[in-house]
Amino acid sequence: MSENGLGDKFVIGIDLGGTFVKFVYARANGEILMYDKIPTRVSHGAPAILGDIANKINDLVIKNGHGRESIIGCGIGCPGTVDADFRKVIFAPNLKWNDVDVKGKLEELTGLSVFIDNDANLAALGELWRGAGRGVDDFICVTLGTGIGGGIVVNGKLLRGVNNNAAEIGHMTIDFNGAQCGCSNYGCWEKYGSASALIARVLNFLSINKNQRSKIPSIIFELCSNDLSKLDCELIFEAARRGDPIAKSAVNQQIEFTAIGLINLIYIFNPNKIILSGGLSAASDALINPVIETVFKKAPKVSLRELEITVSNLGNDAGTMGAIYLVLNEKSFIN
């Protein structure tokens, strides 16, 4: 069935991240009608997070006033390993989840059909459907956020692997003597190239030198009003832009580690395109442009001949658009 004539049906797309849960309420033809987001209460555990998500779904249904019978379903992208039947999150280290029945619980709390998949897989599907991956047979979608995720499209199809666990690129080892990751491995890419890693790198330096704070030549304290709990990547990039030595060092390391991971992917998959999404992808001048420059200096020249590295033109909507696509595909509303 084509997408035509779906204006009277509606879908809710959800992207569950380590910091926020993002929602879009859309017509089934992809027209977005409403955005919303809520904080991800990781420390409260899975029941609280799923309860928050269900409450927001129900709130969106009421606010838009279309009636549950007109809603085809909800799609949700979850970090970590999602089982092959798309019911449970088997393991999500950033959420501290193990064996969580996302589909069953949300269907119970909302009365709507719910479909789940890995968040980065859905970002790739969103790009394939409506974004920078349209018409591209071989590409990798890399989500640079709280963690690092990946969705890999080969010959126009999502690469899933035998247990639906392919493309966990954030957990490839780039330093076997490195820091321990939430997955229990050591030296994972996301421990060095994610937003969490950038913040941790700065906080670690400031913690080591806390007794010499008055001697540290940094404007980071000023930018976060002397409250380091307010420190985020945007503040770090701003400090680096102003020439702060701590921030500049941290960002330069971030550039190198991000480039290393991308170069590894280029060696392994030889893609036609790499699409960068997630919160860090918005930092074009501070991070993304230097990363691309580094990749093109260090990656194998033969693999660069037809390679394009670009930022998602869906912005932060890639995951939620993929979630909408998931519902339409599962319900056979789309070819």
Q: Where are the domains of the chain?
A: 10-125+316-330, 135-312
- What pLDDT shows up at residue 1? 40
Query: Which secondary-structure segment (H or E) carries 38?
Result: strand 32-39
What CATH number is given for 135-312 in this structure? Answer: 3.30.420.40
Per DSSP, what are the bridge partners of residue 14?
23, 76
Rounded Cα distance, 80 and 94, in Å: 8
CA dist 314 to 230, 285, 318, 322, Å? 28, 19, 5, 11
Greatest extent of the chain over all pairs of C-alpha atoms, in Å: 66
For a pLDDT cut of 90, what percent of the chain falls above it? 79
Mean pLDDT of 285-306: 96
Same fold, 10-125+316-330 and 135-312: yes
- What pLDDT shows up at residue 332? 77
- pTM, rounded to two decimals: 0.88
Question: Is 201 within 8 Å of 237 (Cβ atoms)?
Answer: no
Strands 88-92 and 81-82: antiparallel
Query: Is 70 exceeded by the pLDDT of residue 42?
Result: yes
What are the DSSP calls for 184-211, one per residue? Answer: S-BSBTHHHHSHHHHHHHHHHHHHHTGG
Domain 10-125+316-330: CATH architecture, name and number where available? 2-Layer Sandwich (3.30)
Give per-residue pLDDT as tens, 74-128: 999 999 899 867 689 999 988 999 999 999 999 999 999 999 999 999 999 999 9
Mean pLDDT of 214-238: 89
3-state secondary structure of 117: strand
Question: Is 25 within 8 Å of 87 (Cβ atoms)?
Answer: no
Mean pLDDT of 60-87: 89
- Nearest one of 8, 24, 15, 126 to 71, comparing CA atoms: 8
- What pLDDT shows up at residue 316? 82
The residue with greater pLDDT, 331 or 108, is 108
